[in-house]
Structure 1
């Protein structure tokens, strides 16, 4: 057994967890969600098939873990951009702009979200709901924190505002993929964000 194999053999469960998620993200990037099997992840990570089952159990748990890691990585960056502004329009625009920048810079990162959204057609509505809840709860918490910090009372409940923000980023994110120079997406963003800020202002 080589030194590298010995090191890999004695990794903790937490280290295995991260290693397997890295491998799973690469599988999704290359083969989409249909190609994400526990066997494919094991092969990509260079471990025995049983290791994936030991760490995650069912394939579905692996997908949910990927979604959770995505949210933990992306949401703080988006919310930090919004938190830097005192004005509601500027905060919304900065947060949504940060999201679009990530989509453009790292499109492979968002293939998983698109793939999971498509699983509803295959009957796994639970994955779609899990993904939506992760993002909705994170965005709602960010909006609530911003409003309290700046003493702003929104015209709509926080949950409704979060739904509206997610609808905007979903639509604008898809538009950005088919808009090479970004001009049309940016014009749409300014218009839609201005409308949302107005609707949320008492």
Structure 2
């Protein structure tokens, strides 16, 4: 059964490649920022390239923060890519300027502690046992293009019934978060739409979780 996915259209630069990648793995894709399209899709994909502050501003201009929040509150799947992952954390720090993020996860997006930045190219990842997103592709390489990332994870599970998010790590100079799986909310720092067969398999895995 084909899934209906809306790719959020708010001016991000990698939108068309994300649309093509999803269509390639069998999704029915709508490129839109309209409320009905965002809220009613089986899955919402939030791409993101460029500066943290610019992405947050673009999301605000199409009322996406409210719409994404409604989907998450209702248990409706959302996936972020690259800066689409970063804005889900508490804040981003670029050139000394702090910009509040969506605060879905604790953490600060900071410049990578590496001799060579940006981190550009193929890299391995370290997914946790039982990951649905990386099922069958645990040892594959994925394509990264970024200078900033979340290098610390401090998530306290306060309720015994809560399941802690599954965090996938990678390394460039220092360890950083490469992906998070947290119930309906999923995100990757790398670009699955630029990651060849491995990226396609990951998107297929995500589509399988849409119910």
Name whichever structure is richer in strand by fraction.
2
Same fold (TM over 0.5): no
- State the TM bucket, normalised to the shorter chain: under 0.3
TM-score by structure 2 length?
0.24
Choose 1 or 2 for highest CA Rg. Answer: 1
TM-score by structure 1 length?
0.25
Name whichever structure is richer in helix by fraction.
1
